[in-house]
C-alpha cells in the first residue's frame, strides 16, 4: 500500500490550505524513521522489482514561494524527491486566479528562476493547467488549450519533457481524463485514499497532508490507527461533498 501526499503553501498562517514548515519537517523525517521509501512518481508506479517497504510520494500544488523557502533545503539535505505542479499562467504572481474564491488566502507563487532551482535539485515539475480552472467547466477547445499550452510552456522554460498533471480542484470527468491522457503520463486527483495496484495512472488518489497536522501524533502514518482515521475522514468528506451538490 502506497501513498501520495499533497501540500500547498508551507507557512504558519493557519489558513485552510497551509501546512506548517516544522510540521512538514516532522512529516518527512517521521516517514523516513518509519522506514517508508520516499520516491518519485515513476518509481512509485513501478510494479516489478519493488521492495516490500511502503512508499510515499510528496507533491506540491500551485508552486508557492514558501515551498522554495522551506521544502527545497530540507528535501535537498535529505536527498528526497518530490513532484510540484505549476499553474503556468500565474508563475511569479499570486494564487488569485479567476476561479479562486474571494475569501481564499492569497500567497505568492514562484517565478521561473525559482522553479528551475527546484528542478536542478531533483524536484520534478508537472502541470496544474494554465489558469487553474476546473476542467469539467471548460469547452473542448478551452480544455485542450489548458492542457497543451501549460505543457508547452513548461517544456520551453525547463528544456525537459513534462509528463505529469494534477487536476485543478481535483475535478474531472471521463471526457477530461481522456483529454489529459493525450498529453500526460499521469494525473493526480483529490480522491482521498491510498494507492492500490490497478489504479489508472490518470486518476491517482492522494491523501492531503492537511489531515495529518501534528504528524508526530499520527505516527506511524502507515499504521492501522492512522489508516482507519483517514478512512473515516474520507467518508465524512464524501458525504459533505454529496450534500453540497
What whole-number distance in Å separates Cα of residue 84 and Cα of residue 154? 12
User: What pLDDT does 2 receive?
Assistant: 94
User: What pLDDT does 169 receive?
Assistant: 96
pTM above 0.85, yes or no: yes
pLDDT tens for 175-221 read 999 999 999 999 999 999 999 989 999 999 999 999 999 998 999 99
User: What pLDDT does 239 receive?
Assistant: 75
User: What pLDDT does 179 receive?
Assistant: 98
What whole-number distance in Å separates Cα of residue 90 and Cα of residue 96? 9
What whole-number distance in Å separates Cα of residue 71 and Cα of residue 24? 8
Once rounded to an integer, what is the mean pLDDT over residues 92-120? 96
User: What pLDDT does 1 receive?
Assistant: 80
pLDDT at 122 exceeding the cut of 60: yes
Q: State the chain's mean pLDDT as an integer.
A: 94
User: What pLDDT does 48 receive?
Assistant: 53
**196-231 b/e (C-beta count within 10 Å ≥ 16 → b):** eeeeeebbbbbbbbeebeebeebbbbbeeebbeebe
Domain boundaries, the chain: 3-244
| Cβ neighbourhood burial of 28 (10 Å; 0-12, 13-18, 19+) | buried
Give the domain 3-244 fold.
TIM Barrel (3.20.20)
> What percentage of the chain exceeds 70 in pLDDT?
96
State whether residue 33 is helix, strand or coil.
helix
pLDDT tens for 27-70 read 999 999 999 999 999 999 986 556 688 999 999 999 999 999 99
Amino acid at each position: 500500500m502506497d501513498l501520495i501526499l499533497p501540500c500547498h503553501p508551507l507557512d504558519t498562517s493557519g489558513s485552510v490550505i497551509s501546512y506548517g514548515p516544522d510540521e512538514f519537517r516532522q512529516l518527512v523525517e517521521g516517514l523516513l524513521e518509519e522506514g517508508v521509501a520516499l520516491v518519485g512518481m515513476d518509481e512509485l508506479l513501478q510494479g516489478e522489482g519493488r521492495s516490500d517497504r511502503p512508499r510515499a510520494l510528496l507533491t506540491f500544488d500551485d508552486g508557492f514561494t514558501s515551498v522554495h523557502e522551506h521544502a527545497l533545503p530540507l528535501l535537498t539535505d535529505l536527498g528526497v524527491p518530490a513532484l510540484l505542479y505549476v499553474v503556468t499562467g500565474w508563475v511569479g504572481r499570486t494564487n488569485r486566479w479567476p476561479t479562486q474564491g474571494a475569501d481564499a488566502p492569497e500567497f505568492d507563487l514562484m517565478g521561473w528562476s525559482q522553479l528551475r532551482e527546484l528542478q536542478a535539485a531533483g524536484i520534478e515539475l508537472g502541470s496544474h493547467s494554465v489558469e487553474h480552472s476546473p476542467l469539467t467547466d471548460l469547452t473542448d477547445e478551452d480544455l485542450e488549450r489548458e492542457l497543451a499550452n501549460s505543457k508547452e510552456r513548461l517544456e520551453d522554460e525547463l528544456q525537459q519533457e513534462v509528463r505529469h498533471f494534477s487536476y485543478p480542484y481535483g475535478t474531472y470527468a471521463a471526457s477530461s481524463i481522456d483529454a489529459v491522457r493525450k498529453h500526460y503520463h499521469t494525473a493526480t486527483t483529490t480522491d482521498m485514499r491510498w494507492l492500490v495496484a490497478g489504479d489508472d495512472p490518470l486518476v491517482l488518489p492522494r491523501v492531503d497532508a492537511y489531515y495529518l497536522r501534528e504528524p508526530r501524533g499520527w505516527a506511524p502514518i502507515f499504521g492501522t490507527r492512522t489508516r482507519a482515521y483517514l478512512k473515516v475522514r474520507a467518508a465524512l468528506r464524501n458525504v459533505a461533498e454529496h450534500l453540497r451538490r
